[in-house]
Amino acid sequence: METREELLRAKIPCPETGIEIKRTLCAICSPSFHCGVDAYVRDGRIIKVEGTEGHPMNDGLLCTKGLSNREYIYRKDRILTPLKRVGRRGEGKFQEITWEEAYREIADRLLAIRAQDGADSVLFFGGYSKWFRPWLHRLAFSFGTENYATESSTCFTSGLMAWKVATGRPARPDMEHCGVFLGWAFNPYHSRYLNGKRADEAKARGVKFIIVDPRETPATEKLADIHLRPVGGTDGALALGMANILIENGWIDRDYIERYVSGFEAFAEYVRQFNADNLEALTGVPYEQALAACRLIHENGPLSVNESSAPLAHHKNGMQNYRAIMALTALTGSYDRVGGQRPSLHTYVHQSSGFQTREEEFVEEKRPKACKEPVGKPRFPLWYHLEREAQAMDIARQITEGKPYPIRAVFACGMNARMFPDTEYVKEALKKLDFFVDADLFLTDTAKYADIVLPACSSFERGEFKTYPGGYATYTEPVIPPLGQSKSDADILCELAGYLDLDDPLLRSGYENCVRDIIRDLSVTVEELKAADLPVLVPEREPYAEGAYIEGGMDTPSGKFELDSLVIQAHPEWGLDSLPTYRCSLNQADETDYPFILCAGARIPHALHSRLHDVPWLRSLRPEPEADLALCDAERLGIKKGDKIQLFTAVGSIEVKANPTARVLPGMVHMYHGYREADVNSLMDRDNLDPYCGFPGFRSTRCGVRKGEN
């Protein structure tokens, strides 16, 4: 029989060890997965984590990030009490204060600014994570402003906008039933890891895979029947060229197009210019490879397409590229089809689960009726038309210039300046604010610019309502007490609403009561969800019905899949193209001085923005920031692996280690972002933004490379 010491070393849950298994969710990759976690708890501390078997999302699996939750929660820079700045902004000098003092000062300062310059001079920003956004959004509206912005100004929303323009609803690829899977920027073994398991299963069933990625990745090696390697930012030209091939060869669904597609003739005429004569010159992809891919699609349908909202969107032409790729689903009759793209309705916090909640009503019922145009609306009118919120990429400019009106204060949850282009410009803008508040788990470099810092807690330390695909919902309970005096973001927002004396009894009544209001149409209750060991199936879930959406008329002006957008046509003053046209993605820097294309954010499997660079386990997998460049480029510049190199743009320069590799295209440099000692986003041109959605050109910016001092 094992001794107590042996049981403890093995972390065996039993009365002898005092170890219990408590169930929660991982919110590090918020909100895509929220995988179920079995937390091994002893004396109120996490000692081990595993994936929850039987959980509808991950069924026992966890990625490298999820497995690091213990180290993540107990990081040395956790904020344990409210803090008040006593040094210069950015210096990181604070004194501890009480929650009462913090709330009083925040309320007094924000109300004074509102009284003097109006509610619109205060901006509310949601960064990491995303679970609390409906509460922050409602707080902003109840305060009296539309100046609510989120980090989704650089993530996800560009793709969502593209779907809204074309079909009115987003759609998900049906990999389980497709014949050919077009994996555009599909890298599941490094990002969205559960799709890797699904892809392996699909490959075993005989599904054909076309992977489109400039890099060689585990997906291109394990899955690809055909690997297309376009130069960064040229995805739209490749998609338009493939559309032309499909049309010219008659490999399209004409009956579907006639019944459900609008703008086909104009689109077909436009794509004729992307052909055998210029496709390789435009994209780097040989025409014969594109032709082979189209033949594979024609012979192995139905077609399902993965379009990633980060690598495809982070270009000056990102949203249009996205629309061009989606057009392939219209041509092949794949939208709203089993084995194609399944349209989905929003359920709750960026998740589609097959049933509806009242989240949007919870937010919209407090939208102020008389307020100034939110930040970014004049510059990115399509963004506001579709999203009805501020575009965060224009915040720093408006703070700095004070036009069209001044932004004097920012209240933020999890703000990260490294998620913006030209990071130093953003930091200088934060210095100009009269008042800045940030809530976070950690004393981040951005939090150091705040006047008041509030300690937020992790998903292990709070209760949270969450929905999952397939009709599931859950409401977790805390598995450990909050560290120090930390609180959940939602509790902070509800309590602050009281100190601000907002005319919003529901928000002031607390998070759980708001959840009750949001799910009041469902048969399940908060109590039932809390009592369940696993997420429960919601009776109101509706199974997918093939063709129901297109047959009933889509949520577009024409009621059809619009290849030529009537929304954009109706607003010529916007200066945007209604067809998914292709434009060069690169900023206007001189190609002679900056001959390389810099891609910031190329995925590595153990990082999430800059959030995990200070987690020792994960940092050990790639201890120093490195840039990947082609072997031929490294040889030409006399650069060897591990050499120090400088990446430079017209904005600035950083020094990193070189990683010459055969996995990247000549002329391209790939680097992950968020390192404080080498922040690649600090090199980005802050005006190199997509005019359709405002997204920055993180993944196609001109740069130079030179050998550093070793």
Q: Is residue 179 domain-shared with residue 291, that is, in the same domain?
A: yes
Which of 521, 537, 553 delimits the end of a domain?
537
Query: Which domain, by its residues, includes 31?
Result: 4-73
Q: Residue 564 falls within a domain, yes or no?
A: no
Instruction: Say if residue 186 is in the same domain as residue 274.
Output: yes
Please indicate, yes or no, if residue 433 is contained in any of the structural domains. Answer: yes
Q: How far apart are CA 388 and CA 149, in angstroms?
A: 10
Two structure tokens written together for 475: 């409401």
Q: Which residues contact 208 (CB under 8 A, 6 or more apart)?
A: 179, 180, 181, 225, 296, 300
Apex 558 CA angle, 552 and 563, nearest 5? 110
One domain for residues 374 and 511: yes
Helices and strands in the chain: count of H runs, count of E runs: 26, 27
DSSP 25: E
Give the contacts of 531 (CB within 8 A, at least 6 positions apart).
Answer: none
Does residue 521 lie within any of the structural domains? yes
Report the percent of the chain where pLDDT is more than 70: 100
Query: Final residue of a domain: which of 23, 53, 73?
Result: 73
Collapsed DSSP state (helix, strand, coil) of residue 335: strand
Q: What is the SS3 assignment for 468? A: strand
Question: Average pLDDT of 300-316?
Answer: 91
Are residues 211 and 110 located together in one domain of the fold? Answer: no
Mean pLDDT for 545-571 is 97
CATH number assigned to the domain comprising residue 410: 3.40.50.740
Same-domain status, 196 and 301: yes
In a 3-state reduction of DSSP, which class is residue 438?
strand
Q: Which tens digit of pLDDT belongs to each residue from 579-599? A: 999 999 998 778 889 999 999
Asked whether the predicted pLDDT for residue 531 surpasses 90, the reply is yes
**597 contacts 662 by C-beta, under 8 angstroms:** no
Mention every residue, 6+ apart, whose C-beta is less than 8 A from residue 306: 173, 181, 182, 183, 184, 185, 186, 195
How big is the chain, counted in residues? 710
Query: For 175-217, what is each residue's pLDDT tens digit?
Result: 999 999 999 999 998 888 899 999 999 999 999 999 999 999 9
pLDDT at 30 over 80: no
Q: How confident is the model at residue 459 (pLDDT cuts 50, 70, 90)?
A: very high
CB atoms within 10 A of CB 174: 21
Is residue 1 very low, low, confident or very high in pLDDT (cuts 50, 70, 90)? low
Average pLDDT of the residues of the chain: 96
- Same domain assignment for residues 521 and 440: yes
Query: Which of 236, 242, 253 lies closest to 319, judged by CA?
Result: 236
pLDDT digits (tens, 9 = 90+) for 98-150: 999 999 999 999 999 999 999 999 999 999 889 999 999 999 999 999 999 99
Of 17-31, 200-214, 324-338, 558-572, where does mean pLDDT reach its minimum?
17-31
Last residue of a domain, one of 310, 343, 376: 343
- Give the mean pLDDT of 153-158: 92
Higher pLDDT, 33 or 218: 218
Residue 575 belongs to a domain: no
pLDDT, tens digit, 9 for 90 and up, residues 58-74: 999 999 999 999 999 99
In a domain, residue 164? The reply is: no
Same domain membership, residue 419 and residue 496? yes
Give the chain's domain count.
Answer: 4
Strands 36-42 and 20-25: antiparallel
For 309-329, what is the mean pLDDT? Answer: 94
Are residues 241 and 372 part of one domain?
no
Residues 264, 337, single domain; the answer is yes
Q: Are residues 519 and 608 in the same domain?
A: no
Per the domain annotation, does 107 fall within a domain? yes
CATH assignment at residue 187 = 3.40.228.10
Say what the pLDDT of residue 557 is. Answer: 98
**162 falls within a domain:** no
The answer to whether residue 548 sits within a structural domain is no
CATH number at residue 610: 2.40.40.20
pLDDT in tens, 239-255: 999 999 999 999 999 99
Give Cα 290 distance to the centre of its chain: 29
Do 488 and 607 share a domain, yes or no? no
According to DSSP H, which parts of 446-578 are helical?
489-499, 505-508, 511-518, 526-531, 548-552, 566-569
- Can you tell me the mean pLDDT for 28-42? 90
For residue 500, name the pLDDT band (cuts at 50, 70, 90): very high
Same domain, 339 and 361: no
Q: What is the CATH number of the domain that holds 45?
A: 3.30.200.210
Specify the 3-state DSSP secondary structure of 543.
Answer: coil
Q: Which residue has the higher pLDDT, 32 or 636?
A: 636
